[in-house]
Amino acid sequence: MATDLSISELSKDLRDAIEKLDVAGDIETVGIVTRVGDGVAWVHGLRSAGYSEVLLIEGANGETVEAFALNLNEDEIGAVLLGSDESVHAGAKVTLKGTILDVPVGPELLGRVVDPLGNPLDGGPAIKTTQRGLIEREAVGVIGRKHVHEPMMTGIMSIDAMFPIGRGQRELIIGDRQTGKTAIAIDTMINQGRQKTGVVNVYVAIGQKLSKIARLVERLKEEGVMEQTIIVATGPSDPASLLYLAPYSATAMGEYFRDNAQHALIIYDDLTKHAVAYRQMSLLLRRPPGREAFPGDVFYLHSRLLERSAKLTDELGAGSLTALPIIETQAGDISAYVPTNVISITDGQIFLETDLFNQGIRPAISAGLSVSRVGGDAQTKSVKSVGSHLKLGLSQYRELASFAQFGSDLDEATKSQIEKGQRLTELLKQHQYQPASIWEQVASIYAVSEGAFDAVPVSKIKDAQFALLTRLWTDHKKDMQELTKGNEKISSDSKYAKLILDAAKSVAKGLEE
């Protein structure tokens, strides 16, 4: 208790503490700040500083402001401040910390909201991890990688059936504002909790509104997924340096799980804002601007980030890090600089269209412009067997539907194709926060594509689907649990096909026109 302490003890404690401190017994290299402003400090001296090395700048009131070196010129260093530039003034002393940027990594971060330096933002206790991970780290080499072959189920039927994502894949989610890009990412995170896949979610909010992040955290808590999620958050008022670091530090956190034989999913929301933050930093560092005023290395900015997502070989523990980067386009222009870059880096893209969104087709996934380049091998057998013709059918339907608008007489084959397309489109509509499990996806798609719901009006397809799923779960729970494993191929002679079609036909009878 404070009252029990004598003055002499206080003095002894202070002396002991001073003795224990590792004080300036070493000769250290020092530089001085020559200019500072807009979050960038120019430093004279420190010739031994390395790229991305942390600098400690003496603040006005004795405190220390951290920065990291990004421009190493002959006469000076351009460093980006990690805190406010208010207390940094010209003439301030700068020393080297002796490390490059790193963040705490490990399971202790699960369930937490942190900033890009690993400091808690959720008001919880300090995060004490046993390990730290480098923010900038080289990606795994060729020998350490294995082909993508395990499914990363999103729970969104149109994605899992048409553009399957595998563990270790990088699949871009691209679209205009307000087209449901984040919703897809959130549903995928929720699905990992619902299906108990054990996949760890890492969500990186880059310059997102803090209210939006707060809502997301609440939702994830409600869904019970927060315990397997790490949120790395930066708001619009944070310095550009933190926005720039956010995806790299989150990747370091995800890599911990990948390297420890676990599976992780990382969502970068969004890389457009990341590129803009990097553009701001680059322009302030006087780097020459290129196309759209982005610096010349904006491709490398994202390629080195996304290359760190990988599926590892069995020798390295067979862990994986799957990336879902998000890119926002302007008026559907996917040929702008950053979208084309990220499209070429990733293993496919899910393109969301404003028109489809406004027509009520949600998720508004464009069947024609979306693609998954490596996910085919990762798709579960059962979903693959029912969804193989889905993409072609839907693309043809959308083309035919645009002709049918002219009202000309159509032949029977075309009419039936259009009707099936309408039913499939209706079926693939899915509410947010309602990811579907494998058996639900298989049963729904199989019933519609085999024509079991042909007599059901399009507006009642969702009712029919609900009734079918309820009936199957009530009457054949064990079979459906077996089907969820996804190993069974669904063909006309399989027992599941019979179960689904019988149930679908009897459900359809009650809903016919």
The residue (of 286 and 477) whose beta carbon lies closer to other proteins is 286
Question: Distance between CA atoms of 508 and 167, rounded to whole angstroms?
Answer: 37
Tokens of 123: 């008001």
* Number of neighbours of residue 429 by Cβ within 10 angstroms: 16
Smallest distance from other proteins to CB 2, Å: 15
Query: Judged by CB under 8 A, does residue 288 bind other proteins?
Result: no
The residue (of 44 and 398) whose beta carbon lies closer to other proteins is 44
**Listed residue (462, 455, 457, 464) closest to 500, CA to CA:** 464
Looking at the DSSP assignment, which residues form a beta bridge with residue 78? 42, 71
- Residues 204, 264: contact at Cβ < 8 Å? no
Strands 64-72 and 76-81: antiparallel
Can 373 be counted among the known catalytic residues?
yes
Stretch that binds other proteins, among 42-50, 229-237, 253-261, 290-298 (CB under 8 A): 42-50
Query: Judged by CB under 8 A, does residue 46 bind other proteins?
Result: yes
**Listed residue (135, 169, 163, 129) closest to 149, CA to CA:** 169
Smallest distance from other proteins to CB 91, Å: 9
Q: How many CA atoms are closer than 13 Å to the CA of 189, on its beta-carbon side?
A: 30
**Listed residue (173, 171, 233, 177) closest to 202, CA to CA:** 233
Smallest distance from other proteins to CB 7, Å: 17
Among 9, 10, 28, 221, binds other proteins (CB under 8 A): 28
Smallest distance from other proteins to CB 89, Å: 15
- Angle at the Cα of 212 (from 209 to 216), degrees rounded to 5? 145
The residue (of 1 and 21) whose beta carbon lies closer to other proteins is 21
Which H helix or E strand runs over 53? Answer: strand 53-58
Smallest distance from other proteins to CB 29, Å: 5
The residue (of 94 and 205) whose beta carbon lies closer to other proteins is 94
Question: Distance between CA atoms of 204 and 249, rounded to whole angstroms?
Answer: 9
* Number of neighbours of residue 506 by Cβ within 10 angstroms: 13
- The residues in 81-100 that bind other proteins, with binding defined as CB under 8 A, are 93, 95
Smallest distance from other proteins to CB 56, Å: 11
Tokens of 443: 């049963």
Query: Judged by CB under 8 A, does residue 126 bind other proteins?
Result: no
Among 18, 126, 143, 413, binds other proteins (CB under 8 A): 18
Torsion sign, CA atoms 234, 240, 246, 252: negative
Which residue has tokens 């509410």? Answer: 431
Among 39, 41, 45, 453, binds other proteins (CB under 8 A): 45
Query: Judged by CB under 8 A, does residue 119 bind other proteins?
Result: no
Stretch that binds other proteins, among 28-36, 263-271, 305-313, 323-331 (CB under 8 A): 28-36
**Listed residue (275, 274, 255) closest to 265, CA to CA:** 255
> Residue 46, by phi and psi: left (phi above 0), alpha (psi -120 to 50) or beta?
left
Spacing of C-alpha 174 from chain mean position: 12
Tokens of 372: 């998954």
Residues in contact with other proteins, counted by CB under 8 A, come to a total of 26
Query: Judged by CB under 8 A, does residue 195 bind other proteins?
Result: no
Smallest distance from other proteins to CB 17, Å: 5
Side chain identity, residue 381: K
Given 132, 373, 398, 471, which residue is catalytic? 373
Smallest distance from other proteins to CB 35, Å: 11
Among 5, 10, 37, 63, binds other proteins (CB under 8 A): 63
Query: Judged by CB under 8 A, does residue 29 bind other proteins?
Result: yes
Stretch that binds other proteins, among 41-49, 130-138, 147-155, 454-462 (CB under 8 A): 41-49
Query: Judged by CB under 8 A, does residue 62 bind other proteins?
Result: yes
Question: Distance between CA atoms of 250 and 324, rounded to whole angstroms?
Answer: 13
The residue (of 32 and 361) whose beta carbon lies closer to other proteins is 32
Active site positions, annotated: 373
Residues near other proteins (CB under 8 A): 14, 17-18, 21, 23-32, 34, 44-47, 62-64, 74-75, 93, 95
